[in-house]
Structure 1
Amino acid sequence: MSDLPPLLWLQAFEAAARTLSFTAAGRELGVTQAAISQRIRLLEDRLGQKLFVRYPRSLSLTPAGQAWLPSIHDAFTRISEGTSEVFGTSPDNPVTVRTTPVIQQNWLAPRLTRFHRRHPSIAIRLVSAIWQDDFGPEGADIEIRYGRGEWQGVEALSLGAETLLPVCAPGVAANLASPADLSGNTLLHALGFAVGWATWLEQAGVAALERDCPALTCDNQVMTLALASQGAGVALAHRRLIQQRDDLVAPFTLDIASEESFWLVRSSRRDVGEDAARLWHWLAAERDVSD
């Protein structure tokens, strides 16, 4: 045990390696960026190898750092699991669920409400993620991801096939009798989706119309749907995410199959606590339940 570096140094490495930022790691651990930098340097001196390549505005892991990181993740995971097994879940040790804001609002919120009414003693922490790099088994017990389900080291349950269709405010829809009427309307684009407006317009037989439409691009679907509800344009939305909304309508019946879908995900490399397992099974059973 005497050969192990101090825990504070290992925490600094794990946080910095996960965020690739000394500043973000310091914010997470409640210390300054300088403190993280110092702990990393002391750790590198102890190990005799560099763990990070430092650039003027970014960080990357060295091959040694990349090789060591999984072991550090596993060690902290086992400590967390052991703590949960012995001391149980508390408001300071909740079940962490990570997913995108749009899923939180439109799919997860009603289900968590029902779960909480049945299990009020289970503490839950909800964490937002937007980009694929925001996800990963570290730091979350359960995730809902969007993609093809081809992730390594996880158990993934599909929430079902997805289709996309145009949606807009009722006042905008009143002027859209056919896809050709989209000409001149702003098309709201959300980054990160394999299928988008170009595919829908092509299947609607009006592919050339896109050049006649102003574009407004957002980095998340929450914002495109919010803009659409305010009459700022027409967005493409997943059918399951607009079924319970009364501020958006679908002016056309045509929808297109998405190449990706939403998945309920948890790590297959470690056992989860009893509370996390209970929430996992609840959400799995809720996959086909309408709100």
Structure 2
Amino acid sequence: MPLSTNPPSLPPLNWLRAFEAAARLMSFTQAGREIGVTQSAISQNVRLLEAHLGERLFERLPHRLELTESGKAYLPAVQDGFQRIGSGTREVFGPIRRDRVTVRATPGFAVAWLAPRIADFYAQAPDVNLRIVSSIWDLGFEAGAADLEVRYGDGDWPGLHCGRLTVDRVFPVASPKVAADLAADPATLADRRLLHTIGFRVTWPRWLDSAGLSQIVDGSGGDHFDTAVTALAIAERGLGVALSRSSLAAERLARGTLVAPFETALETDEAFFLVWPTNAPLSTDAERFADWLRGQAD
């Protein structure tokens, strides 16, 4: 049989199924019975796989099969792949999924606002299973993608129920040591790395104007991040100063890992909102989680 010399790509699934069953049962006939095809179909699929890989996987001896060294080496990888696919399918699409509430939220909200409060929901609703998925940008409400979503913005999203969860103020935060230096001499902010979060309306230049520091600090300098939680984590390590929303910095401020060194804080009409489609009624469990979120906001 001529063997291919081209680098092999991922083989078709039916070829791999035929190989795995034949190798496990050491019989093309029994493999065919298990899968529900003929012995010749198993043999043909194995030959196609061998040609694709450029290696023989079986020695076809009188009245029996033996795996070649390549076949012995390949079999565990194929079986592991099938096991992973099976486990992943059961985890994502198993019976419990029907009762799971899928909530899409930004990483910043999930880590900084939701995680510190979620123990209360677990205590109130131990029978409700959640699936929290990340969403940085507004991707729309694809059919079936989520039951609920937490978005940051002004709440103007046609076709969606919108319930405000936060009232935010915007101000710089830094590690305790950096904050102490800035409080003693605000002008030293010019020597610090500014940490920006992309997508927010209130930005460093606006805050610097309000604080009277725009003449000495370049508000365009520094690093930019597409999620606030990254900027806050870097600020905690004393590597820069983040312009944060009060709802996202609150827990770190309470723990003392971040400090607000300046009194100037700007109001913003942007906030985190709980949203879901007006044409899609919530399940009982999704309604329970929505009620809990609204209660936390109140």
Scaled by the length of structure 2, the TM-score of the pair is 0.63
Percent of residue pairs identical: 38
Give the conservation status (yes or no) of the 8 Å contact 2:204–2:220: no
Rate the CA distance shift 1:214–1:151 in 2: closer, same or farther, 3 A: closer
| Structure 2 gaps, min length 5 | 1-12, 14-94
2:235 paired with 1:225: no
Residue 167 of structure 1: aligned partner: 173
Instruction: Identify the match of residue 250 of structure 2 among 243, 247, 262.
Output: 243
Which residue of 2 is the match for residue 268 of structure 1?
278
Residues 163 and 238 in structure 1, CA contact (< 8 A), matched pair in contact too: yes
- Is the CA contact 1:137–1:266 (under 8 Å) kept in the aligned structure 2? no
Query: How far apart are 1:279 and its partner, in Å?
Result: 1.0
Report what 1:258 is aligned to: 268
Equivalent position SS for 1:276? helix
Compare CA radii of gyration and give the structure with the larger one.
2
How many residue pairs get aligned? The number is: 200
Cα offset for 1:213?
Answer: 8.0
CA 1:137/1:110 → structure 2, altered by over 3 Å: closer, same or farther? farther
Does the C-alpha gap of structure 1 residues 137 and 260 become closer, same or farther in structure 2, counting only changes over 3 Å? Answer: farther
Alpha-carbon distance in structure 2 between the residues aligned to 1:118 and 1:260:
30
- Residue 5 of structure 2 corresponds to none
Q: Which residue does 1:102 correspond to in 2?
A: 108
| Conserved 8 A contact 1:188-1:233 | yes
Shift of 1:192: 0.7
Contact map agreement 1:97 1:126 (CA 8 A) in 2: yes
Decide whether aligned partners of structure 1 residues 231 and 153 sit closer, same or farther in structure 2, where only a CA change above 3 A counts. Answer: same
SS of match in other structure, 1:282 = helix
> Is the CA contact 2:99–2:128 (under 8 Å) kept in the aligned structure 1?
no
Does 199-208 or 105-114 show the bigger shift?
A: 105-114
Report runs of 4+ in structure 1 exceeding 6 Å deviation: none
| Secondary structure of the corresponding residue to residue 239 of structure 2 | coil
Q: Does the C-alpha gap of structure 1 residues 160 and 143 become closer, same or farther in structure 2, counting only changes over 3 Å?
A: same
Residue 130 of structure 1 deviates from its aligned partner by 0.7
TM-score, normalised relative to structure 1? 0.64
**Deviation digits for residues 144-168 of structure 1 (CA, Å, limit 9, x no counterpart):** 1000101011110112321110000
Structure 1 residue aligned with 2:296: 286
Q: Is the Cα contact below 8 Å between 2:205 and 2:220 reproduced in 1? A: no
1:106 deviation in Å?
1.6
Structural RMSD (CA): 2.0
Q: Which runs of 5+ in 1 are unaligned?
A: 1-30, 32-88
Residue 209 (1) aligns with residue 216 (2): yes
Distance 2:106 2:127 in 1: 25
